[in-house]
Structure 1
Amino acid sequence: MYLRAVHAESSTKALFEFITANPLGIITTAIPSTTHHFLQSSHVPWVLDVYTDDPEAPVQGRLRGHMARQNPQSIAMMEACTNSGTTELQQDVMILFTSAHHHYVTPKFYTETKPDTGKVVPTWNYAAAQVYGKATIYFDSSVAETSEYLSQQIHDLSRMCETSVMGYTGKDGKPGPWSVSDAPERYIEIMKKNTIGIEVAIESIGGKFKMSQDKGQGDREGVIQGFSNLGSDVGTHIAELVKERGEMKEAEKNKQL
């Protein structure tokens, strides 16, 4: 990921919070195979376990996910582990998380530079985080460790999504969350046998909020107004982020004076 200093998020804690708020990540692997593509990617929702936000720590946390056993990427990972005689992939994996809110930025929003010089071009505002690490694959359904991992993973992911994503807390008049125990036990066991677990030790993390911080104050105000005028949820959210990130930039600049 290209991380210009003006857009880069230097706080590991903030990046962890971003992942928690945007748990659907794209895992990419690069595994030599005679039957499958070398590069493969899949969308997977992740549970984040944070160990430390110290960027110098060798392992900063772990991401826990699961994937259909029939997925070609799953098959490639299982083959690689079987051939190496271990449950850990020898190659690094990468997981990319992106914000649900992103948008094209028209040069018409730049109310300062466009009238003055015309030297403006379109761009796209977005936020993303990227994780690198080593993956342990739980795929042997005959061992207890795989069953235990998948049981915990499915329970934790469902609980997280039901409460944090759906807001089903059972409080203040809201419905209670769906629980894995609501489904027949035999059915869940069948689902587990058709699933593999993926645990990624986070060794490196980076991210960015590309929200017009590289523009002058006049242009940023034009971008904020332009997105606000769209009258959409996405436009409102982007406008708020441009304002927030612009204020952070100015505060950092003032600290250096």
Structure 2
Amino acid sequence: MYTPPAFRDDDKDSLIATIRAARLANLVTATADGPLATPLPLFLDETEGEHGVIHGHLAKANPQWRVPAIGDGLAIFMGPDAYVTPAWYATKQETGKVVPTWNYAAVHAYGPVEFFEDADRLLEVVTRLTNLHEGARAAPWAVSDAPPDFIQSQLRGIVGLRMPVVRLEGKRKMSQNRNAADRAGVASGLAASERPSDREVAALIS
């Protein structure tokens, strides 16, 4: 990922927070036939290995797991993002030398990809993913709410993913390259937006 020094995010807590907040990631593998990518809900287990291990699953009909990967896999986690109009810059009034841009946060996780079909491991991954996303609901649904034979039939249609993280890259582009007046203008403009993601970005600009 191209990351100018001003936008590099090396803070592990910040990187983990971006990963945890991303409800959907993209798994990318390089193959002899070209890159393959799949949008997937993934989770990071920080208790495993130096940088943690990413877990998830994909459909067994998806060819990505059958095609041998060349080198490490890449999981892309996107944080909040927002379009930034030059109209918000104080510099626009002073010189007019401004252009549009985009603010965003992203984390790239790299590691060797392992796919598996073991039913017990698959059930654990599915259960952990379900608990993660159902936990905040007033009446959370649990995997155990469904008939066991139905769950087993569903597990036969998926393949598990395990990717030990060997490297993390983080980028947080939040107008750090602009002067204080420009940053204040961007934060104010985004805070007034009707888009929730715009308001999230506004809160990250300092």
- The TM-score, its normalising length taken from structure 2, stands at 0.94
Contact 2:29 2:70 in 1 (8 A): no
Please report the RMSD computed on the Cα atoms of aligned residues, expressed in angstroms. 1.6
Residues 144-192 of structure 1 deviation map (CA, whole Å, 9 limit, x = unaligned): xx112101001100000101xxx22xxxxxx221000111111111111
Residue 145 of structure 2, aligned match among 176, 179, 182: 182
1:1-257 to 2 correspondences below 5 Å: 1-32=1-32, 37-51=33-47, 59-76=50-67, 80=68, 91-99=71-79, 101-111=80-90, 113-139=91-117, 146-163=118-135, 167-168=136-137, 175-242=138-205, 246=206
**How many angstroms does 1:90 deviate by?**
5.7
Contact 1:90 1:134 in 2 (8 A): no
Equivalent AA in structure 2 for residue 214 of structure 1: N
Decide which moves more: 151-160 or 10-19.
10-19
Residues 107-151 of structure 1 deviation map (CA, whole Å, 9 limit, x = unaligned): 11101x112221111101111100110111103xxxxxx112101
Contact 1:162 1:177 in 2 (8 A): yes
- Counterparts of 2:188 and 2:202, CA distance in 1: 7
Q: How many residues align?
A: 206
Equivalent AA in structure 2 for residue 69 of structure 1: K
Residues 152 and 74 of structure 1: CA distance in aligned 2, closer, same or farther (over 3 Å): same
- Counterparts of 2:164 and 2:198, CA distance in 1: 35
Looking at CA atoms only, which structure, 1 or 2, has the larger radius of gyration?
A: 1
Structure 1 outlier segments of 4+, above 4 Å: none
- Over the matched positions of the two proteins, sequence identity in percent amounts to 32
Residues 54-99 of structure 1 deviation map (CA, whole Å, 9 limit, x = unaligned): xxxx8411000100000121332xxx3xxxxxxxx56210010102
Equivalent AA in structure 1 for residue 34 of structure 2: F
SS at match of 2:125: helix
- Counterparts of 1:31 and 1:3, CA distance in 2: 25
- Counterparts of 1:47 and 1:232, CA distance in 2: 26
- Counterparts of 1:232 and 1:192, CA distance in 2: 37
- Counterparts of 1:236 and 1:67, CA distance in 2: 32
- Counterparts of 1:131 and 1:182, CA distance in 2: 33
Residues 181-205 of structure 1 deviation map (CA, whole Å, 9 limit, x = unaligned): 1111111111111110010000000
SS at match of 1:230: coil
- Counterparts of 1:217 and 1:12, CA distance in 2: 26
- The TM-score, its normalising length taken from structure 1, stands at 0.76
**How many angstroms does 1:235 deviate by?**
2.8
**How many angstroms does 1:231 deviate by?**
3.8
Contact 1:93 1:134 in 2 (8 A): yes
Contact 1:69 1:195 in 2 (8 A): yes
Residues 123 and 90 of structure 1: CA distance in aligned 2, closer, same or farther (over 3 Å): closer
Which is richer in strand? 2
